[in-house]
Structure 1
Amino acid sequence: MISSVQEWALSLPWFLHWVGILVLGAIPFVESYFGSVIGVLSGLSPFVAIPVAIGGNVVSMLAFVFGAHAVRGRVMRDREQAALSPRRQKVKERFDRYGVAGVSLLGQLVRPSQITSALIVSFGASRNRVIMWQVVSIIMWGVVCGVLAVYGVDVFA
């Protein structure tokens, strides 16, 4: 999948190359970490590829957070909280153990930031706190993976 996405990014005209990386950064499971790697490996300067992939990921995550916050507000207005599915229960237990910061920073190893952030907000965490820690996490993972790609470290093989 990564090679086909990289080929798509390379097929864009040079002046739209960064737009392709921005779009890739917004896609769950590609996000800032793969987006920055694809940008660097496809010839874009790391000083452009990494921030653009991070920007796409942040915009996408914000859409999920604001959406989840709005839905939770409407649902919780008139009802009691429904029972959690086994998967959501597992995430909720990790959230209770590690808090917003821990789940935000480590959650990207398991789930996309968009899904993780929406789940955290649905558990009742502060929307602004989730946004802050998710942005920190997105920047951290994007920079780390982009720098590794610059130096030729193949972590994802």
Structure 2
Amino acid sequence: MMEWLQQSEGIWQYIVLFLLAAAPLLDVFIVVPLGVGLGLNPIAVGIIGFAGNFLMVVILGLFFKQFSKWREKRRAKKGITGPTKRETRARRLWERYGLPGLAILAPGLVGTDLAAVLALTFGSSRRWVIMWLAISLAIWTIALTIGSIYGFRYMEII
């Protein structure tokens, strides 16, 4: 998909960027700097990165029960019995800071999709999970967009 982004032109670059943002484990931490680095409009990149990531959070929130059943079957097939390192890290965040802390810290540490699944697994309300992750994604997207703009400008100077 990264090659598609570089090879496509115009509106297609933004569509590919949206698909990358919606892909599991590809958060705004990757998509926003990539889009800005390719010279795309930073505001559009931020909005599209947020929208793609947020779409996955909403889908996971709405279909959590079905997703959870599918995930358990998949883990059983692979022989995974205990929590992964990312899940353990998320659990520690949850125990220390609760849903707001997990939502704010998760995009950088475990990813928004895994944070949504874990928060729902820990018993949080679907509405609160979606709301807190939306706030977190907005903050991170703005910070990453601004950081990418100035970071790439700084690199051009050197």
- With the shorter chain as reference, the TM-score category is 0.7 to 0.9
Map of 2:74 onto structure 1: none
User: In 2, Cα distance between the equivalents of 1:57 and 1:99?
Assistant: 21
Q: Which runs of 5+ in 2 are unaligned?
A: 70-80
Q: CA deviation at 1:135?
A: 0.7
More helix as a share of residues: 2
Cα distance per residue 1:36-72 (max 9 Å; x no partner): 1111111211111110111000001211222225566
User: In 2, Cα distance between the equivalents of 1:90 and 1:18?
Assistant: 33
Equivalent residue in structure 1 for 2:38, among 42, 45, 51: 42
User: In 1, Cα distance between the equivalents of 2:91 and 2:138?
Assistant: 24
User: In 2, Cα distance between the equivalents of 1:46 and 1:136?
Assistant: 19
Map of 1:142 onto structure 2: 141
Map of 1:107 onto structure 2: 106
Equivalent residue in structure 1 for 2:8, among 9, 12, 19: 12
Decide whether aligned partners of structure 1 residues 69 and 132 sit closer, same or farther in structure 2, where only a CA change above 3 A counts: farther
Map of 1:62 onto structure 2: 58
User: In 1, Cα distance between the equivalents of 2:96 and 2:23?
Assistant: 28
TM-score by length of 2: 0.77
Identity %: 22
Cα RMSD over matched residues? 2.4
CA contact 2:29–2:108 (8 Å) conserved in 1: no
CA contact 1:65–1:114 (8 Å) conserved in 2: no
Map of 2:97 onto structure 1: 98
User: In 1, Cα distance between the equivalents of 2:83 and 2:146?
Assistant: 37
User: In 1, Cα distance between the equivalents of 2:151 and 2:89?
Assistant: 36
- Amino acid across the alignment from 1:35: V
Map of 1:76 onto structure 2: none
Map of 2:151 onto structure 1: 152
Q: CA deviation at 1:94?
A: 2.8
Runs of 4+ off more than 6 Å:
none
Map of 1:85 onto structure 2: 82
CA contact 1:33–1:146 (8 Å) conserved in 2: no
User: In 2, Cα distance between the equivalents of 1:66 and 1:149?
Assistant: 32
Map of 2:120 onto structure 1: 121
CA contact 1:23–1:56 (8 Å) conserved in 2: yes
